[in-house]
Structure 1
Amino acid sequence: MTDTPGDAHQSLADLVYLRLRERIIEGEYPSGQRLVERELADGMGVSRIPVREAMQRLEREGFLTVQARRGAVVADFGPADAEHFFAVRESLEALAASLAAQHATAAGVRDLERILVRTRKAAEAGRLRETVSLNADFHREIVTLSGNPLLRDMMAPLDGRLRRLFRLTTDADSGLPMCTEHQQLLDAIKARDPETAATLARQHVAGTRAFALRTLGD
């Protein structure tokens, strides 16, 4: 990477942000790890300016926290954090599912079906990282199919936290049961049944919440 002014610099800052964010989500930088601006810049071959901007953005989004005498460290994602996250997510996911059942196009439903097919194949093959990523894709697609741009904007900042939570709590045995629940939700959306879709979304989030809290509490 090289650092250049203007739009190129902004693109570089975005790229650094995405790389650091992905490393946190995937656990390459675990909770509590100290991130040093100079070391990150040297490792990525960039100046410290885009790294500083990326770290400030990650702090605003809850991925990093600044501690006295330690500087920036990767934020914890414990049971209390999960409780707050699920309290918000349950209502928004139910709304997204209800709206998707009302507004999803045939092409949009086919996109959901394709994601679910890929998720099931990944789960059957034990490809955990791919399963986690596709799980997040499925939920993101339902939000898109809601047809509500404000809801998309509200859910977008939660996407990274959702992927991080899935990465921390999903195991090889949870992939196929998750696919079964996704199939039921997909069927309700295809049937244009917003009430059932909302109920299933709430139940799915509640089940994920219970499993995540058990896992994080171990």
Structure 2
Amino acid sequence: MSKTYSSAERAYHEVKERILSGALPGGELVSENEIAAQLGMSRTPVRESFLRLETEGWMRLYPKRGALVVPVPPHEAEHVTHARYVVETGAVRALAVTDRTGVLAELTESLARQRELARAGDLDAFAVVDADFHRAYVLAAGNPLLAGFYDSLRERQRRMNSVALRQRGIDTDAIIAQHTRLAAFIESGDADGFATELADHLTRVHGVELRGL
């Protein structure tokens, strides 16, 4: 691997991480020089990373002006939230008739980590663990097609979590309390109770009403 390629890869992952965490918010215009100086590298690998991020839809490039971080589209939160609801409730219905010991241990561990991060005020790490909490029971259902589709939403979901935590002033303690109730419904095999709690949880966090569910 060449030095230029490795620098471009590092620039790509660093800038994308800033977008997903909300450190580079949607609508912000950034320059190659600015990012290159922050990362201690030349403009060339940064330019390559910007081109890659534009291809993926995270940035829009304007010659001689810079790169615009593409804001979250107006209806993306609604679409992602509805898709998540369908996949997560389906996964829990499948789990209701299987051995849930392993996933329950994973959820318990996640809840402990969430409390730790909430006390530390580390919202970026909390957003990641939040997303992983939900992903855990989707994977545990054992349907690779649902898991693959859910993972395709992961980056959008993480960015939405970061935006909600940073901009909407979401109470992490309230999120943890809801996660605890979701885990309890999974433990008891109550898929209907889980579905009701999940709809309320997603509405509270993302401000999206799950109509007709």
The interval holding the TM-score normalised by the smaller chain is: 0.7 to 0.9
Count of residues in correspondence between the two structures: 207
Q: Which moved more, 1:42-51 or 1:195-204?
A: 42-51
Q: Does 1:203 align with 2:206?
A: no
SS of the equivalent of 2:29 reads coil
Moved more, 118-127 or 157-166: 118-127
- Tell me if the contact between 2:202 and 2:208 (Cα under 8 Å) persists in the aligned partners: no
Moved more, 85-94 or 154-163: 85-94
Per-residue deviation, residues 119-160 of structure 1 (Å, max 9, x unmatched): 123324433333322212211222222211112211223212
Question: Which amino acid in the other structure matches residue 179 of structure 2?
Answer: H
Note closer, same or farther for the CA distance 1:206–1:173 as it changes in structure 2 (3 Å cut). closer
Matched, 1:137 2:136: no
Confirm or deny: 8 A CA contact 1:25 1:160 kept in the other structure: yes
Q: Is the 8 A contact 1:104 1:189 kept in 2?
A: no
Q: Which residue pairs with 1:176 in the alignment?
A: 173
Q: In the TM superposition, what is the alpha-carbon distance from 1:182 to its structure 2 partner? A: 0.8
Counterparts of residues 40-55 of structure 1 (less than 5 Å): 40=35, 44=39, 51=46, 54-55=49-50
Deviation at 1:174, TM superposition (A): 1.3
Match of 1:126 among 114, 121, 126: 121
1:90 and 2:85 correspond: yes
Matches within 5 A, 1:29-108: 29-36=24-31, 40=35, 44=39, 51=46, 54-66=49-61, 70=65, 72-77=67-72, 79-103=74-98, 105-108=100-103
Q: 2:143 aligns with which of 145, 148, 173?
A: 148
Identity, in percent, stands at 33
Q: Distance in 2 between matches of 1:44 and 1:168?
A: 24
Q: Where do 5+ consecutive residues of structure 2 fail to align?
A: none
Moved more, 99-108 or 25-34: 99-108
Whole-Å separation in 1 of the counterparts to 2:119 and 2:208: 20
What TM-score do you get using the length of structure 2 for normalisation? Answer: 0.75
CA contact (8 A) 2:20 2:159 kept: yes
Offset of residue 204 of structure 1:
1.9
State the superposition RMSD in angstroms.
3.4
Task: Report the secondary structure of 1:65's partner residue.
Answer: strand
SS at 1:88's partner residue? helix
| 1:3 lines up with 2:3 in the alignment | yes
2:81–2:202 Cα contact (<8 Å) kept: yes
* 1:73 aligned counterpart, secondary structure: strand
Q: In 1, distance between residues paired with 2:206 and 2:82?
A: 9
Kindly provide the CA deviation profile for residues 80-128 of structure 1, in whole angstroms up to 9, marking residues without a partner as x.
3323332333322322333344446422210111101221233244333
- The one-letter amino acid paired with 1:134 is V
| Structure 2 SS opposite 1:205 | helix
User: Which moves more between the two structures, 137-146 or 73-82?
Assistant: 73-82
- Deviation of the 1:196 alpha carbon: 2.9
TM-score by length of 1: 0.74
Q: Which amino acid aligns with 2:71?
A: D
Q: Deviations over 1:172-209 (max 9, x none)?
A: 65111111111111111112233333333233222323
